[in-house]
Amino acid sequence: MTPFPYRLTRAGVVMTPVAGDPLEAEGVLNPASGRGPDGELYLLPRLVAEGNVSRVGLARVVVEDGVPVAVERQGVVLEPDRPFERGRDNAGVEDPRITFIPALGLHVMTYVAYGPLGPHTAVAVSDDLRAWRRLGPVSFEYDDELGIDLALFHNKDTVFFPEPVTAPDGTPSFAVLHRPVWDLGGIRPGEGEHPPAGETRPSIWIAFIPVEAVERDLAELARWRQNRFLAGPEFPFEELKIGAGPAPRRVPEGWLLLHHGVTGRLEPGVDQQKNVNYAAGAMILDADEPWRVIDRTTEPLLSAETADERSGIVPNVVFPTAIETVDGRDWVFYGMADSKIGVASLERDVSK
């Protein structure tokens, strides 16, 4: 097998919790990112308060000699203040992913609304990264060939492609990745798994939204159609499950998608797992048919090795969520042990 043509090289920690800040008592992690109207690079980190209550913050990235090294905090831009983001014993707006879509002139955020029935995906949009308009929880068009209601299931790791693609039915569409979890035991104890035919472990799916529909009504970005399986766990470092990372990037080979793979042991009904290992992998999706995987890593590009990655709220976690270009170099921002935010350079090996 030809070696995978991209690599990650860690560069350091860019954000750690502020001691004594109640909004960051349980970590800063898993950031989204974007360029503001001022041209500055910003992270939108998940800020976790005591009790695992998450908010989305805003922080300007400090760059020295072309390398992201720190952040300057600029407050909170999304709070769990809608009923679908709050339950009786839980609340949160978690793990934002942001894609700037030039065709819309907007930053499109997917995030996890940790509401009354657990984690479900929601969508919001902004033109400045500061003021966000909620489009609401995602709904899924029913497909009788699948025979399931995707809206029933917990869903995370969702992110939009940056430009329209041609959907399987030939329609110019916006594409989005998501990761349903088939076990309904967290909603109704004892209910168990209800997967469609095929892979039962949590896997990456892809959905489409016709461009024409979004041009008529922006809220259509939250109504996902033509849902289909994209990729499941295949190699040892992703034995339990996989999920999408940052927005796919157009590369000479097609679409580069960083993802995470999970090994270890999952405890039912536990939000902050302690016996798992998260590592970063990658795959190449076909340029014209992005629901087809044409190459993927057999081993991690980055595993939990440093003290910051191995010790934290959830030990042994490398969780990539954002890619940005700074002075011609690509940088990947990632969660470290659900506690801090690290950065690694993303490079193409021209010899491969």
Tens digits of per-residue pLDDT, 197-215? 778 899 999 999 999 999 9
pLDDT in tens, 13-31: 999 999 999 999 999 999 9
Short-list 160, 195, 154, CA closest to 175:
160
Short-list 138, 129, 159, CA closest to 258:
159
- The answer to whether the CB of 165 falls within 8 A of the CB of 179 is no
How many whole angstroms separate alpha carbon 160 and alpha carbon 221?
10
- How far is C-alpha 160 from the chain's CA centre? 9
pLDDT in tens, 252-283: 999 999 999 999 877 666 566 667 899 999 99
Query: Would you state the pLDDT for residue 197?
Result: 77
Mean pLDDT, the chain, whole residue set: 95
- The answer to whether the CB of 241 falls within 8 A of the CB of 260 is no
Q: Does residue 242 carry a pLDDT above 60? A: yes
Task: Name the class of domain 7-348.
Answer: mainly beta
Segment 100-105 mean pLDDT = 98
User: Got the DSSP string for 279-293?
Assistant: EEEEEEE-SS-TTSE
- Domain ranges in the chain are 7-348
332 is written with which tokens? 């990947």
Q: Is 307 helix (H, G, I), strand (E, B) or coil?
A: helix
**By CB neighbour count within 10 A (0-12 exposed, 13-18 middle, 19+ buried), where does 129 fall?**
buried
Q: Which of 232-241, 259-268, 321-330 is predicted with the least confidence, judged by mean pLDDT?
A: 259-268
pTM: 0.96
Name residue, tokens 């690290």. 342
Short-list 334, 256, 246, 323, CA closest to 41:
323
Residues 6+ apart with CB under 8 A from 348: 5, 6, 251
Q: Which residues pair with 160 in a beta bridge?
A: 176
